[in-house]
Amino acid sequence: MSLDVDLPEPPELAAVDPNEYEDAEVAGGEYRRDDLEALLREGAWEEAFDQWAAGSDMDAADWQIALDLELVSRFDFFWDDFADRVGYHAPGLPEDWKERDLHPDLDSWGTVSAINAGLTELGQIVCETLKEEYIDWEADFEAPDDLPDFDE
């Protein structure tokens, strides 16, 4: 499948400690958000979005709900120096979406699942695109000298 929609603006990355997210554990404190945000604006966002949209299982109605709820703007990307990778937090719809009456067209768990899965896939592709095509810095983390030598 593919999703034929307009490219949204890349998210503005906020100064949030990624360890506050339930799905992230990051060592260090230099998350390089300004650098990542610049790379997103320089083309990484568009490249990743186009790749994602070409294979996305989301349909236009699901995507419109995500846009209406401003979910795309709530993505977070951060540098994880210890793991030498770009980490991310994808926005999603909460389990109590029905009680909260978030959107008039949000009417099934299938739609909620499609939106949450689609945004997670987009976040992963953005991270891979940043790391493989745009980031030219090396991790600053150096392992301590006193680690055991497992090579034999």
Q: Give me the pLDDT at residue 33, please.
A: 84
Q: Is 131 helix (H, G, I), strand (E, B) or coil?
A: helix
Q: Which amino acid is at 22?
A: E
Q: Tens of pLDDT along 84-136?
A: 889 898 999 999 999 999 999 999 999 999 999 999 999 999 999 999 999 98
Q: Would the CA dihedral through 130, 85, 76, 69 be positive or negative?
A: positive
Q: Confidence class of residue 138 from pLDDT cuts 50, 70 and 90?
A: low
- Residue 86 phi/psi, 5° resolution? -95, 125
Q: Is 88 helix (H, G, I), strand (E, B) or coil?
A: strand
Q: Give me the pLDDT at residue 128, please.
A: 96
Q: Tens of pLDDT along 24-82?
A: 565 666 778 889 999 999 999 999 999 999 999 999 999 999 999 999 999 999 888 87
Q: Which residue has the tokens 């210890």?
A: 82
Q: Give me the pLDDT at residue 73, please.
A: 94
Any idea of the CA torsion for 130, 133, 134, 140, to the nearest 10 degrees?
80
Q: Name the helix (H) or strand (E) containing 114.
A: helix 109-129
Q: Would the CA dihedral through 143, 144, 148, 151 be positive or negative?
A: positive
Q: Tens of pLDDT along 2-13?
A: 899 999 999 998
C-alpha to C-alpha distance for 126 and 129, rounded to whole angstroms: 5
Instruction: Map out the domains of the chain as residue ranges.
Output: 32-134
DSSP secondary structure letters along 28-45: SS---HHHHHHHIIIIIH
